[in-house]
């Protein structure tokens, strides 16, 4: 959508250095921009590309503006400013309200008149869909679930049972939320399934990535607070609580009853064991597992980086002979006496 730089600057709160009547109609990286593009410079890695960009305008920090060969939109957080601007230049599609003829909606379900219910959707007993919410093709909103206003369930999402989802939430394809937690009691005859009777409560502005699973609680609810961002293939077990604005990268896993603070960041393949508490503002490195309570904000790690396997194998062999080395040092100390 073509938008003038003047309008854009006003709407996203930038200072414009350049022609307010010039327009942009798309977005692109500095290196691929055309004279119709809005671009941005956030990471210094891309600074060398600024001088030669063909963009119509670049969102950047004041200190980078001097080197900008085109119109500059100055903001102290260019990445967030770009995110808002891109939403204006490339607006999301608008969907007609209504329920597709192939959708199956329970007589006891409630669907807002402004909601869009796509082909093949099933909405079960006692569930409700909020105003302006988009429920994409193949989504199942089963029993006693509520999806708030302005939500977006892309496609093939399964919302199982006793799930309350806030406003402006985005659920990507393959998300399963409200499935049973993994509760089993051992007996001499084998496992007995422990009924999972809690629900899931997700706040506002939560985004959940493709094929992520969030279990319902065993008795109390699993809780995802406002503004939490979850990537693909993440596992959140029963009775986990994830604090507001925490971001969780792909393939992380959180075992049952873990309590995660606010504004934490978990890199890929990381996670926690069950029944631990992690305070606010913890950053966890990739492939690392938290095994006990974390009470101090900061960066935590516990995994090794890949190296050529012939080196790695030697390191592992030395590691396995550490006891021997300790004994040799002990002998040297003894001999010295």
- Closest approach, Cβ 266 to a copy of itself, in A, equals 11
Check residue 32 for interaction with a copy of itself (CB under 8 A). yes
**DSSP character string of 76-133:** S-HHHHHHHHHHHHSPPPP---EE-TT-EE-TT-EE-TT-EE-TT-EE-TT-EE-TT-
Among 25, 49, 110, 232, binds a copy of itself (CB under 8 A): 232
Residue 62 or 76 having the CB closest to a copy of itself: 76
- Closest approach, Cβ 68 to a copy of itself, in A, equals 19
Beta bridge partners of 141: 123, 159
Q: Are 224 and 236 in contact (CB under 8 A)?
A: yes
> What's the gap between Cα 138 and its chain centre?
22
Residue 15 or 307 having the CB closest to a copy of itself: 307
Angle at CA of residue 201, ends 220 and 208, nearest 5°: 130
Among 247, 277, 279, 281, binds a copy of itself (CB under 8 A): 247
Among 72, 115, 118, 242, binds a copy of itself (CB under 8 A): 118
Nearest to 59, CA basis, from 80, 44, 36, 88: 80
Residues 84 and 206: their CA atoms lie apart, in Å, by 17
Among 229, 279, 280, 281, binds a copy of itself (CB under 8 A): 229
Catalytic residue among 116, 235, 238, 269: 238
Residues 200 and 161: their CA atoms lie apart, in Å, by 8
Is position 269 annotated as part of the catalytic site? no
Among 151, 166, 243, 271, binds a copy of itself (CB under 8 A): 271
- Closest approach, Cβ 85 to a copy of itself, in A, equals 9
Exposure string over 184-201, b if 16+ CB within 10 A, otherwise e: eeeeeeeeeeeebebbbb
Check residue 84 for interaction with a copy of itself (CB under 8 A). yes
- Closest approach, Cβ 198 to a copy of itself, in A, equals 10
The footprint of a copy of itself on residues 127-186 (CB under 8 A) is 136-138, 140, 142-143, 154-156, 158, 160, 170, 172-174, 176, 179-180, 182-186
Q: Tokens 């999806």 map to which residue?
A: 147
- 212 in helix, strand or coil? coil
Check residue 264 for interaction with a copy of itself (CB under 8 A). no
Check residue 205 for interaction with a copy of itself (CB under 8 A). yes
Nearest to 36, CA basis, from 6, 13, 4: 4
Only segment of 3-11, 28-36, 55-63, 107-115 that touches a copy of itself (CB under 8 A): 28-36
* Active site (catalytic) residues: 238
């Amino acid at each position: 959508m073509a938008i003038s730089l003047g309008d854009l600057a006003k709407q996203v709160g930038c200072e414009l250095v350049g022609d307010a009547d010039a327009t942009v109609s798309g977005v692109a990286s500095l290196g691929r921009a055309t004279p119709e593009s809005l671009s941005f410079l956030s990471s210094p890695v891309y600074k060398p590309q600024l001088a030669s960009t063909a963009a119509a305008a670049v969102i950047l920090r004041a200190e980078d503006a001097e080197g900008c060969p085109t119109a500059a939109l100055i903001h102290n957080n260019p990445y967030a400013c770009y995110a808002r601007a891109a939403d204006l230049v490339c607006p999301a599609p608008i969907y007609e309200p209504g329920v597709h003829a192939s959708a199956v909606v329970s007589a006891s379900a409630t669907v807002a008149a402004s909601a869009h219910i796509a082909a093949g959707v099933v909405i079960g007993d006692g569930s409700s869909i909020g105003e302006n919410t988009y429920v994409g093709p193949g989504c199942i909103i089963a029993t006693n679930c509520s999806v708030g206003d302005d939500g977006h369930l892309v496609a093939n999402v399964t919302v199982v049972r006793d799930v309350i989802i806030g406003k402006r939430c985005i659920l990507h394809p393959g998300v399963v939320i409200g499935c049973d937690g993994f509760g089993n009691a051992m007996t001499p005859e084998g496992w007995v399934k422990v009924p999972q009777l809690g629900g899931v409560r997700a706040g506002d502005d939560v985004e959940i990535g493709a094929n992520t699973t969030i279990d319902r609680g065993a008795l109390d609810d699993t809780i995802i607070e406002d503004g939490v961002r979850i990537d693909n293939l993440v596992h959140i077990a029963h009775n986990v609580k994830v604090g507001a604005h925490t971001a969780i990268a792909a393939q992380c896993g959180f075992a049952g009853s873990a309590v995660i603070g606010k504004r934490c960041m978990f890199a890929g393949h990381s996670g926690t064991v069950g029944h631990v508490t992690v305070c606010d503002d913890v950053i966890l490195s990739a492939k690392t597992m938290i095994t006990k309570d974390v009470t101090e904000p900061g960066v935590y790690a516990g995994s090794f980086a890949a190296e050529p396997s012939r080196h790695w194998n030697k390191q592992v062999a030395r590691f396995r002979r550490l006891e021997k080395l300790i004994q040799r040092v002990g002998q040297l100390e003894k001999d010295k006496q």
